[in-house]
């Protein structure tokens, strides 16, 4: 009778290994997880332990043989590849011999499994308790299975099975198995059998359910769970359960990982057949190749032309034509206008040549009949831009520069938004006109700073010429002959205006307004006093020159002391803008939460106000008037 019982137990082990419908001596094939298509990995289980290689395995997909297959034994594939969680019932119905048999079977299973395979244990009744986290340490396994766990009411079988699958997922196990041992039906689980079965199929977790026959045995739950999840079910008495678990542990030692690169088209249902040399039968499995992501219909129509080579060629040709036209208009010789020819007669005494109608503003206004009637031309911003362009000595008319700046901005925005599909970059490029205006103002301010540094030396020449007997206007003309640019150009303008009938103090005031120079205004005041009251003008100019030098020295000292603050303010203020431009250009959807949501727009507005306030505060601190 003992031999008969042992034979029944072994046959039960073979049943759970091979499945309810497969023969005990055939190979099995099941899909593993952790790989990304087109790489596929399957678990090949042999009916008996033997050594095989890639040449012994023949694999076919939909009838087509796979040329290259990689075969790795399960016990050498690494500790993270295979993992098993024993889920053992600790309800009160397991009291006595069933619990003792279950723990003895668990110890035999641990002893017969591959040494590198990680093992975990979960005890369940009215709640779940992790008796052993996944580990391959022999000492921890023996310690967790040494004593019987405490028993309590409840049989939350479905919840415990889901907890075991979650433990395998968190441990990143590629080939996970769950062995559930219980003697009764589920009582009190939150999850349903269908949810647990779906999770098992989705994670490719193999579920083995074992029914332990006792006085309150009910195997319907275990049988239904195995059938719904595609697993295997067996039942045994307390005397047979040890041999059953021994056979199950040995089963995991006969498993191999078979991996290859699939050539199946996207979205196709694939049937995989595996045969092993020297083993009867063919193991089969199925899977579906993932589908390619579908783009919205509108996106395909919108980007079809702009993503083609033709659009790039057309854009390159348009850019080349625009660049060539700009170079032609900028580099071609300018035609001499009436103000140009008049100014040439005025400047012959100083060897100077006018370059633009703004060179002699008074004569230009007369020849134009009082100036332009355009509202834009009469605006203070436009007049300031024209003045900065003239002070910076840029050889391009204001209207031409403004026109081509707008044309270039429109083309850049069109190219970024439509051709390159970077709408955020197109919005940023709308600021190109402001960049051009800032560049012109920067160049003009450089000329103004140079003029301020040259003014004391030029006034010294004026004072020396007046001591030699020259009038103020004559002394100013002498200074023009020896002056360097831009002081030569601006002082020459004042002398030219005086020769056209404008009082010299007004001519100097106009030059001071153009150059933003308070010091030159003082010189104009000296010229007015000399015209109205007379006196020792040379001595007064010497005093003015000395004052200007002291103010310049103090101004340089202040700029040196505030250089760090100005630099820090510029970096802190420009860093957010720079990061917005970079991230917006590299990833157009990066700022979508800040643009498309009310909270995002509110936070963006607050950040912009704080950034502007900080920049103004830093500028106010470091901007010290002298």
What DSSP letter does each residue of 520-566 carry, written as one string? HHHHHHHHHHHHHT---HHHHHHHHHHHHHHHHHHHHHHHHHTHHHH
What is the pLDDT at residue 552? Answer: 79
What is the pLDDT at residue 197? Answer: 86
* Band of pLDDT at residue 428, cut at 50, 70 and 90: low
**What mean pLDDT, rounded, does the chain reach?**
77
* 91-105, 109-123, 326-340, 561-575: the lowest-pLDDT one: 326-340
More confident residue, 168 or 583: 168
Q: Are 588 and 424 in contact (CB under 8 A)?
A: yes
Query: What does the longest C-alpha to C-alpha distance in the chain come to?
Result: 144
Q: Which residues is 82 bridged to in the sheet?
A: 175
Average pLDDT estimate for 438-465: 84
What is the pLDDT at residue 4? Answer: 45
Does 529 score more than 90 pLDDT? no
Does 613 score more than 80 pLDDT? yes
Does 536 score more than 80 pLDDT? no
pLDDT above 90 covers a percentage of the chain that reads 2
What is the pLDDT at residue 87? Answer: 92
Does 18 score more than 50 pLDDT? no
Cβ contacts of residue 292 below 8 Å, gap of 6+? 266, 267
* Band of pLDDT at residue 535, cut at 50, 70 and 90: low
* 80-94, 367-381, 428-442, 468-482: the lowest-pLDDT one: 367-381
Q: Are 541 and 526 in contact (CB under 8 A)?
A: yes
What is the pLDDT at residue 600? Answer: 81
pLDDT tens, 172-222? Answer: 887 888 999 888 788 888 888 888 888 888 888 888 888 888 777 777 888
Query: Using CA atoms, how far apart are residues 284 and 29, in angstroms rounded to an integer?
Result: 6
Does 113 score more than 50 pLDDT? yes
Average pLDDT estimate for 608-612: 86
- The CB-side HSE value for 338 (13 A sphere, CA atoms) comes to 9
What is the pLDDT at residue 21? Answer: 34
Cβ contacts of residue 104 below 8 Å, gap of 6+? 241, 242
Query: Using CA atoms, how far apart are residues 398 and 404, in angstroms rounded to an integer?
Result: 10
More confident residue, 379 or 233: 233
What is the pLDDT at residue 316? Answer: 66
What is the pLDDT at residue 584? Answer: 72
| DSSP of 430-480 | TTHHHHHHHHHHHHHHHHHHHHHHHHHHHHHHHHHHHHTT--HHHHHHHHH
| Terminal Cα-to-Cα distance of the chain (whole angstroms) | 114
Average pLDDT estimate for 394-423: 75
More confident residue, 462 or 626: 462
* Band of pLDDT at residue 85, cut at 50, 70 and 90: very high
Does 354 score more than 80 pLDDT? no
* Band of pLDDT at residue 300, cut at 50, 70 and 90: very low
pLDDT tens, 281-291? Answer: 888 888 888 87
What is the pLDDT at residue 367? Answer: 39
Does 3 score more than 60 pLDDT? no
What is the pLDDT at residue 341? Answer: 52
- Map tokens 């395998």 to a residue: 168
Report the SS3 class of residue 155: strand
């Amino acid at each position: 009778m003992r031999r008969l019982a042992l034979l029944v137990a072994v046959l039960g082990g073979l049943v759970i290994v091979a499945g309810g419908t497969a023969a005990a001596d055939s190979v099995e094939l099941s899909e593993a997880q952790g790989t990304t298509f087109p790489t596929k990995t399957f678990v090949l289980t042999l009916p008996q332990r033997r050594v095989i290689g890639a040449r012994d395995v023949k694999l076919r997909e939909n009838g087509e043989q796979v040329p290259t297959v990689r075969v790795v034994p399960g016990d050498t594939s690494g500790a993270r590849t295979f993992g098993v969680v024993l889920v053992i019932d600790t309800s009160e119905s397991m009291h006595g011999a069933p619990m003792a048999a279950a723990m003895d079977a668990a110890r035999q299973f641990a002893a017969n499994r591959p040494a590198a395979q990680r093992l975990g244990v979960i005890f369940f009744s009215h709640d779940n308790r992790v008796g052993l986290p996944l580990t391959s340490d022999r000492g921890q396994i023996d310690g967790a299975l040494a004593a019987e766990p405490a028993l309590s009411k409840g049989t939350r079988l479905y919840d415990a099975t889901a907890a075991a699958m979650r433990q395998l997922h968190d441990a990143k196990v590629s080939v996970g198995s769950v062995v559930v041992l219980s003697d009764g039906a589920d009582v009190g689980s939150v999850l349903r059998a269908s949810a647990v079965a779906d999770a098992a199929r989705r994670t490719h977790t193999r579920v083995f359910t074992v029914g332990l026959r006792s006085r309150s045995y009910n195997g319907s739950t275990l049988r239904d769970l195995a059938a719904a999840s595609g697993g295997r079910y067996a039942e045994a008495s307390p005397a047979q359960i040890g041999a059953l678990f021994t056979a199950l542990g040995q089963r995991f030692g006969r498993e191999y990982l078979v991996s290859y690169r699939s050539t199946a088209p996207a979205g196709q249902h694939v049937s995989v057949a595996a045969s092993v040399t020297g083993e009867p039968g063919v193991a089969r499995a199925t899977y579906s190749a993932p589908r390619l992501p579908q783009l919205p219909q509108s996106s395909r129509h919108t980007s079809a032309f702009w993503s083609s080579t033709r659009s790039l060629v057309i854009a390159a040709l348009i850019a080349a034509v625009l660049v060539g036209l700009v170079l032609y208009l900028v580099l071609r010789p300018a035609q001499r206008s009436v103000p140009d020819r008049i100014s040439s007669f005025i400047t012959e005494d100083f060897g100077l040549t006018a370059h633009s109608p703004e060179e002699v503003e008074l004569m230009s206004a007369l020849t134009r009949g009082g100036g332009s009637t355009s509202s834009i031309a009469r605006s203070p911003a436009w007049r300031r831009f024209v003045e900065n362009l003239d002070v910076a000595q840029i050889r391009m008319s204001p209207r031409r520069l403004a026109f081509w700046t707008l044309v270039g901005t429109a083309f850049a925005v069109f190219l970024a938004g439509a051709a390159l599909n970077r709408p955020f970059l197109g919005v940023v490029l709308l600021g190109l006109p402001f960049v051009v205006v800032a560049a012109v103002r920067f160049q003009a301010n450089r000329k103004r700073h140079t003029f301020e540094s040259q003014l004391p030396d030029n006034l010294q020449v004026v004072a020396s010429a007046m001591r030699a007997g020259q009038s103020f206007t004559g002394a100013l003309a002498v200074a023009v002959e020896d002056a360097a640019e831009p002081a030569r150009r601006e002082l020459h303008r004042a002398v030219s205006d005086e020769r056209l009938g404008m009082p010299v103090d007004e001519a100097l005031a106009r030059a001071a307004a153009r150059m933003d120079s308070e010091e030159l205004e003082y010189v104009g005041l000296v010229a007015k006093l000399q015209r109205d009251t007379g006196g020792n003008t040379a001595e007064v100019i010497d005093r003015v020159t000395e004052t200007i030098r002291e103010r310049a020295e103090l101004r340089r000292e202040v700029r040196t002391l505030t250089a760090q603050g100005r630099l820090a303010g510029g970096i802190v203020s420009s860093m957010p803008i720079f990061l917005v431009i970079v991230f917006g250009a590299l990833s157009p959807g990066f700022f979508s939460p800040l643009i498309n949501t009310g909270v995002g727009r509110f936070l963006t507005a607050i950040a912009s106000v704080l950034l502007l306030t900080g920049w103004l505060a830093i500028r106010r601190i470091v901007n010290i008037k002298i």
